[in-house]
Amino acid sequence: MKFQYTRYGDVVRPVIPIKLKHGGNEIGYHVLVDSGADLCLFDAGLGREIGIDIESGKMKEVFGIGGKSSIYFIHPVTIEVGGWPFEIDAGFMSGVAGRVFRYGVVGQCGFFDKFIVKFDLLKEEVELKDRK
């Protein structure tokens, strides 16, 4: 399946729509397909909206490109991409959505291990193939 990049002013990014599910609840969300991310990280507020007690998860720490550390909590969830549901362990952290670009991140564990991912910047599209 193919998704068009999302345009943010003069910048295009491989941001795609997903559904985030937990315990019969679900919410639509947009995520950056990020090959440099170790795992999937979503905003804690969205996790709370689908019924997750965020702070009850296993606490971990992540370091961003500027060296700033942030705390996140791991929880099992289902993500649905293009109609395909996958159970993953994802991190939930306050402020993931950011003030400027409001999306989460899908990374190596929980996304790249589920899909073969092809980026095409000139066509402004990302293609996903199931890793069956």
Q: How confident is the model at residue 42 (pLDDT cuts 50, 70, 90)?
A: very high
pLDDT exceeding 90 applies to what percent of the chain?
76
* Homologous superfamily assigned to 2-130: Acid Proteases (2.40.70.10)
pTM of the model: 0.90
pLDDT tens-place string over residues 65-124: 777 888 999 999 999 999 999 999 999 998 776 556 679 999 999 999 999 999 999 999
Domain ranges for the chain: 2-130
Distance CA 33, CA 43 (A): 15
Instruction: Tell me how far CA of residue 78 lies from CA of 4, 21, 97, 110, in angstroms.
Output: 23, 5, 19, 10
Largest CA distance in the chain: 43
State the pLDDT at residue 49.
93
Mean pLDDT of 26-51: 93
Question: With pLDDT > 70 as the criterion, what percentage of the chain qualifies?
Answer: 96
Q: With a cut of 90, say whether residue 51 has pLDDT above it.
A: yes
What pLDDT is stored for residue 62 in this prediction? 85
